[in-house]
Amino acid sequence: MSNHVEQQGDQNGPASKRLAEVVLLFLKLGLTAFGGPAAHIAIMHDEVVKRRRWLDERGFLDLLGVTNLIPGPNSTEMAIHIGYLRAGYPGLILGGICFMLPAVLITIALAWVYVRYGALPEAGWLLYGVKPVIIVIILQALLGLGKKAVKGPLTAIIGLLVIAGGFFDINQLVLLLAGGLVVMAIENRQRLKGKGLYALLVPVIPVSGAGASAAYTIPFSSTILFLKFLKIGAVLYGSGYVLLAFLHADFVTGLGWLTDKQLIDAVAIGQITPGPVFTTATFIGYILGGVPGSVLATIGIFLPSFIIVAIISHFVTRLRNSPWAAGLLDGVNVASLGLMTTVTWYLGTATFVNPFSIVLAIVAAVLLLRFRVNSTWIILGGAAVGLIKGML
């Protein structure tokens, strides 16, 4: 992998210029990247591989594969990784913060409106125009990354099996590890002769989202709030639905601090704001403890990602040089794209429900693929079209 990432380390310009580039890019993405982790990663791919050439396809794929193997919000961790590769530890910190900050501030403002008026502001019109555009951007990224990830029949088969597993709701971490281990074993089968294979235990995080609300309410504590979100940030794998299960178990069933309606509204806020979906924590923190609560909840859920990426960043560039780790990455990379494909299918079936959405997607595809219009402008255009249509 070193040839694919470290070559990007021979970066032009002084460190302060590279850091400014990181700050400006991720502030822009934090303001405009709607659609969840798959869309965020697709937009980052367009920006840092296609346009800025900070990474090549293989380097980006390897980062994506490693990111999928660690807990926490994938798109935020990609921002942290990319920031580190471009501008060192200052880039690591500011890349992640700048990607989060716009969504955090927007979420606090929406939480204030929610607490004051007891309802969410209408955002459906905006998303109506954004969602078809997001699907096109994800498909473009899948096409570009897939050309590098699918190296032959083996990785093609693994990718298809992961897609099938995603439709059968098999645990995402299990699919990632299984894909990586199978490719690693087959690519290194000569080294395995005579050594035997030992079973690998894949830890499965128990998640319970069922059950009635707490029979009694534990008094609110800022310390408990922070520790609960710190735990979630440190162990959570998977989608927003897994986050919902954790939040329900901890804050509705366990502590009795939230009602089911408040939790659903909090998750909805995370979905309709740009940037990371984990800003759901910011909303919950504000409801429970005002601005201090929102700050504590936000720090708690995102802090593990910064720590984990800072630790593994020293090892990522060495993985591709090891035949064992290279095989694992090959499998995890194609499995990651398989999971993205499954998510995109579900998003597409929920998005393309009328001629308007289909036409908007076609226009977005032409602008993106034929005229190479920046994905940010296409997203903003889709939002504007949605708002105009909603007001007519």
Write the DSSP string, 327-363. HHHHHHHHHHHHHHHHHHHHHHHHH--SHHHHHHHHH
Farthest-apart Cα atoms in the chain, separation:
72
Cβ 114 vs Cβ 265: under 8 Å:
yes
Nearest to 61 by CA among 338, 363, 383, 370: 338
pLDDT of residue 158: 94
pLDDT of residue 130: 78
pLDDT of residue 320: 64
Nearest to 369 by CA among 359, 378, 381, 357: 378
Rounded to an integer, the average pLDDT of 323-350 is 81
* Positive or negative: CA dihedral 43, 44, 45, 47: positive
Supply 263's token pair: 């939790």
Answer yes or no: is pLDDT of 8 > 50: no
Nearest to 208 by CA among 158, 182, 246: 246
Q: What are phi and psi of 242, to 5 degrees?
A: -70, -40
Cβ 72 vs Cβ 340: under 8 Å:
no
Between 268 and 202, residue with greater pLDDT: 268
> What's the mean pLDDT when you consider all of the chain?
81
Supply 134's token pair: 């997001």
Global pTM?
A: 0.74
118-144 CB burial, b ≥16 within 10 A, e <16: eeeeebebbbbbbbbbbbbbbbbbbeb
Supply 193's token pair: 């002769």
CA distance linking residue 44 with residue 46, whole number of Å: 5
Answer yes or no: is pLDDT of 117 > 90: no
Answer yes or no: is pLDDT of 56 > 60: yes
pLDDT of residue 252: 87
